[in-house]
A = this chain, B = another copy of it.
Amino acid sequence: MVKVRLASRILEANEKIAERNRKFFQDKGIFVINLMSSPGSGKTSILERTISRLSGETPLAVIEGDIYTSQDAERIEQKGAPVVQINTSGACHLDAHMVEEALGDLDLDKIKLLVIENVGNLVCPAEFDLGEDAKVAVLSTTEGNDKPMKYPLVFRQSQAVLVNKIDLLAHTDFDLDVLRRDVHLINPELKIFEVSARTNEGFEPWCQWLAEQVRNKAAAV
C-alpha cells in the first residue's frame, strides 16, 4: 500500500508540472509530441527523416531522452535541429520536471514543433504526462503484431502510431490486418502510418499530418 500511495503521489506531482509545461507550450503556440517505443524501433531514425522533410517549413526543436548516452542527440544535431539531451541516469522514462528543466536550454521563441524522444521503453513512459499535445508510438514490423495487446497503455494514449521497418515486412510474420484490428480495439481514433525510416517510404502522409497539427496549434494562439 505504501508503494501504491507513493506512486500516486509521484504521478500527482508530475501532473502539476506537466500542466505548467502545457500552459507554456500553449502560450507560445508550440505543438509538442512525446515519441515513445521499445528500444530499437527506430524513433531517432524516424526523427531524422521527419526533420529533413519538415524543417524547411516548420521551425522545430528536439529533446532527446536517454538513460546514459548522447548518441541520439548527436545524430539529431547533425540534421541541423536544436537539441537538448536529458540523461535519466538509470530512470526508465522521462518525467515532466526533466522536460521543464530542459526547456530552459532551448530558444523556443521561433519554434513551432517540439519533439520529445522518450527513453526506449514500451511500458513506463506512457504513465508520465510531459505536457505534450500528442503521444506518438512507434512499433516496428520486426517486433511482432502482438505488441498492442501486450502493452496497451501506450497505444490507448497515443494519437498516432508509426509502423516502422515496413520494408522488412516480407521477412517477418507481422500481420498488418491483425495490427490494425488490435490497435483500433484499444483506440478507435488512432492514426496508423506505415513507414520505413530506412527507405523513406510512407513519410509524406505522416509529415503532412504532423504539419497540419502544428498549423492548427499555432493558429489557436
A140 contact set on B, CB distance < 8 A: 40, 142
A147 touches B39 (CB 8 A): yes
A80 contact set on B, CB distance < 8 A: none
Partner of A168, one of B10, B142, B149: B142
Q: How many copies does the complex hold?
A: 2
**Which among A3, A38, A119 has the highest number of chain B CB atoms within 10 Å?**
A38
Interface code A65-92, partner B: CB below 8 Å = 1, 0 otherwise?
A: 0111101000000000000000000101
Residue A102 lies at the interface, judged by CB distance under 8 Å to chain B: no
Smallest Cβ distance from A201 to chain B, in angstroms?
14
Listed in ascending order, the chain A residues whose CB lies under 8 Å from chain B are 2-3, 6, 10, 38-41, 66-69, 71, 90, 92, 119-124, 140, 142-144, 146-147, 149-153, 165, 167-168, 171, 173, 198
| 8 nearest A-B residue pairs (beta carbon) | A40-B143, A142-B142, A92-B123, A38-B38, A38-B39, A40-B144, A39-B122, A92-B124
